[in-house]
Amino acid sequence: MRLFGNTSIDFLKYRYMAAALSGFLIVASLVSIGLHGGLRYGIDFAGGTQIIVLFAERPDLDVLRTSLEQQDIEDPTIQEFVAEEGRHEVLIRTPQSDEGGALISEIYSALDRYDPTEAPAGQDDFNAISRDELGNRMLQRNPLEFDTVVDLGNARSTYQEVADRALSARDTPGLLRSWEPLDALNLDPRVSDWMKSTFYLGSHAVIGQEFVGPQVGADLRQQTMLAMSLALGGLLAYITYRFEFRFGVGAVAALVHDVIIAVGAFSITNREFNLPVVAAFLTIVGYSLNDTVVVFDRVRENALTQRRVPLYDRLNLSINQTLSRTVLTSGTTLIVVISLFVYGGPVINNFAFALLVGVIVGTYSSIFVATPVYFALAQRALAARKK
Compute the residue count for the chain: 387
In the prediction, which pLDDT does 213 show? 65
Q: Which of 81, 80, 69, 79 has the alpha carbon at shortest distance from 107?
A: 69
Q: Tell me the C-alpha distance between 103 and 76, whole Å.
A: 11
In the prediction, which pLDDT does 249 show? 85
Lowest mean pLDDT among 123-137, 223-237, 251-265: 223-237
Q: Is the pLDDT of residue 183 over 60?
A: yes
- Pick 26 or 78 by higher pLDDT: 26
Q: Tell me the C-alpha distance between 90 and 83, whole Å.
A: 11
Q: What is the DSSP letter of 256?
A: H
Q: Tell me the C-alpha distance between 233 and 241, whole Å.
A: 12
In the prediction, which pLDDT does 224 show? 76
Q: What is the mean pLDDT of residues 42-62?
A: 80
Burial class (CB in 10 A: 0-12, 13-18, 19+), 87: middle
Q: What is the mean pLDDT of residues 242-248?
A: 80
Mean pLDDT, the chain, integer: 83
pTM, rounded to two decimals: 0.68
Q: Which helix (H) or strand (E) holds 273?
A: strand 272-273
Q: Tell me the C-alpha distance between 204 and 216, whole Å.
A: 30
Q: Which of 71, 195, 181, 206 has the alpha carbon at shortest distance from 135?
A: 195
69-87: pLDDT as tens digits: 888 877 777 888 765 566 7
Q: Is the pLDDT of residue 28 over 90?
A: yes
SS3 at position 154: helix
Q: What is the mean pLDDT of residues 299-312?
A: 85
Q: Tell me the C-alpha distance between 100 and 91, whole Å.
A: 17
Q: Angle at Cα 87 formed by Cα 85 and Cα 92, nearest 5°?
A: 150
Q: Is the pLDDT of residue 27 over 90?
A: yes
152-172: pLDDT as tens digits: 889 899 999 999 999 888 877
Out of 78-92, 138-152, 221-235, the most confident range is: 138-152
Q: How far apart are the first and last CA of the chain?
A: 46
203-228: pLDDT as tens digits: 888 887 777 665 666 677 777 778 77
In the prediction, which pLDDT does 97 show? 60
| 61-67 contacts at long range (C-beta below 8 A, 24 or more positions apart) | 61/90, 63/114, 64/90, 64/92, 64/110, 64/114, 67/110, 67/111, 67/113, 67/114
319-328: pLDDT as tens digits: 888 888 888 8
Q: Which of 112, 138, 132 has the alpha carbon at shortest distance from 198?
A: 138
Q: Is the pLDDT of residue 2 over 60?
A: no
| Residue 145 backbone class (left: φ over 0; alpha: ψ -120 to 50; beta: rest) | left
Lowest mean pLDDT among 120-124, 139-143, 217-221, 257-261: 217-221
Q: Tell me the C-alpha distance between 116 and 18, whole Å.
A: 60
Q: Tell me the C-alpha distance between 231 and 212, whole Å.
A: 26
Q: What is the mean pLDDT of residues 268-280?
A: 85
Q: Tell me the C-alpha distance between 51 and 63, whole Å.
A: 17
Q: What is the percentage of the chain residues whose pLDDT exceeds 70?
A: 93
Helices (H), the chain: 15-35, 43-46, 61-70, 100-114, 131-141, 152-167, 180-183, 189-198, 214-242, 245-268, 275-305, 311-343, 349-368, 370-386
DSSP letter for each residue of 184-245: TTT--HHHHHHHHHHEE--SEEEEEEEEE-HHHHHHHHHHHHHHHHHHHHHHHHHHHHHS-H
Q: Is the pLDDT of residue 311 over 90?
A: no
In the prediction, which pLDDT does 127 show? 84
In the prediction, which pLDDT does 67 show? 87
Q: What is the percentage of the chain residues whose pLDDT exceeds 90?
A: 17
95: Cα within 13 Å, side-chain hemisphere: 5
- Pick 49 or 16 by higher pLDDT: 16
**C-alpha separations of 129 from 133, 165, 166, 195, 221 in Å:** 6, 14, 11, 12, 36
Domains defined for the chain, CATH in brackets = 11-43+213-386 (1.20.1640.10), 48-116 (3.30.70), 123-205 (no CATH)
360 pLDDT tier (thresholds 50, 70, 90): very high
Contact 296, 247 (CB under 8 A): yes
In the prediction, which pLDDT does 157 show? 92
Q: Is the pLDDT of residue 181 over 70?
A: yes
Out of 108-112, 114-118, 245-249, 268-272, the most confident range is: 268-272
